[in-house]
């Protein structure tokens, strides 16, 4: 894509195009090799430009990472603001956990960050997104004494599944389809609701 783009039109100068080429190359590299395993020269080479443009356009490698990996929380998460928590889980499982197989670059940014979680700044960004955006959705929809704890357990399950597939690459979960998994996950989440409020 980047290749073809730059080959068809030999060397057309275009700031916006270069910027997004850099961004896409960064996403791929970071996804595959993590933050520390990726050098600015690698990214620039993939994008077909000079490495110094990274600093021109983004300021620093860290800032490029942050922007490359930033993700907006999906708008209509569980189809409607006050929907069933179970529907929300199902939607999240489908849309974020099971949207990471096909090719690197299509993997969800959450797990890209997970793979680069050695850096404190990356951890901070990860915490902000997971807690501030995703978990909040659950806490709002749950009721009872330990709603927050139960919300985080759901989050842990989802993140754990993604982790098993994305970084550990465990056999069964990696091969399993969304349809095979959703029923089991739903059962686990349902049990959490039915558990007596202590």
Partner DNA sequence: TCGTAAAGTCAACAGTTGATGACTTATGCT
Partner DNA sequence: AGCATAAGTCATCAACTGTTGACTTTACGA
Residue 101 interacts, among DNA, a second copy, none and using kind-specific CB cut-offs from 5 to 8 Å, with none
d(CA 198, CA 196): 5
> Per CB under 8 A, does 183 bind a second copy?
yes
Q: Smaller CB distance to DNA: residue 88 or 122? A: 122
d(CA 38, CA 50): 15
Residue 159 interacts, among a second copy, DNA, none and using kind-specific CB cut-offs from 5 to 8 Å, with a second copy
Residue 55 interacts, among DNA, a second copy, none and using kind-specific CB cut-offs from 5 to 8 Å, with DNA
d(CA 86, CA 73): 18
Footprint on residues 35-94 left by a second copy (CB under 8 A): 35-37
Least CB distance to DNA at residue 57 (A): 8
How distant is the alpha carbon of residue 193 from its chain centre? Answer: 27
How distant is the alpha carbon of residue 7 from its chain centre? Answer: 31
Burial class (CB in 10 A: 0-12, 13-18, 19+), 62: middle
Task: Report which secondary-structure segment, H or E, holds 134.
Answer: none
Inter-axis angle of helices 178-194 and 147-163, to 10 degrees?
Answer: 160
Least CB distance to a second copy at residue 4 (A): 29
Q: Do residues 164 and 170 lie in contact, with contact meaning Cβ atoms separated by under 8 Å?
A: yes
Residue 93 interacts, among DNA, a second copy, none and using kind-specific CB cut-offs from 5 to 8 Å, with none
Least CB distance to a second copy at residue 132 (A): 10
Residues that bind a second copy (CB under 8 A): 33-37, 114-119, 123, 126-127, 130-131, 135, 146, 148-153, 155-161, 163-164, 167-173, 176, 180-181, 183-185, 187-192, 194-195, 198
């Amino acid at each position: 894509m980047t290749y073809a783009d730059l080959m068809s039109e030999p060397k057309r100068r275009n700031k916006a195009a270069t910027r997004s080429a850099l961004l896409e190359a960064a996403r791929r590299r970071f996804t595959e090799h993590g933050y520390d395993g990726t050098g600015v020269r690698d990214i620039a080479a993939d994008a077909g430009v000079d490495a110094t443009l990274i600093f021109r356009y983004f300021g620093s490698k860290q800032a490029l990472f942050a922007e490359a990996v930033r993700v907006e929380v999906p708008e209509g998460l569980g189809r409607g603001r006050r929907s069933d928590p179970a529907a929300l889980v199902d939607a999240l499982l489908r849309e974020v956990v099971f949207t990471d197989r096909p090719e690197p670059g299509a993997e969800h940014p959450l797990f890209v960050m997970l793979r680069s979680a050695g850096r404190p700044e990356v951890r901070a960004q990860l915490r902000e997104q997971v807690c501030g955006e995703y978990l909040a959705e659950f806490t709002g929809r749950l009721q009872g004494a330990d709603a927050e704890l139960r919300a985080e357990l759901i989050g842990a399950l989802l993140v754990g599944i993604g982790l098993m597939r994305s970084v550990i690459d465990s056999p069964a979960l990696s091969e399993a389809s969304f349809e095979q998994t959703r029923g089991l996950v739903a059962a686990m989440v349902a049990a959490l609701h039915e558990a007596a409020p202590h």
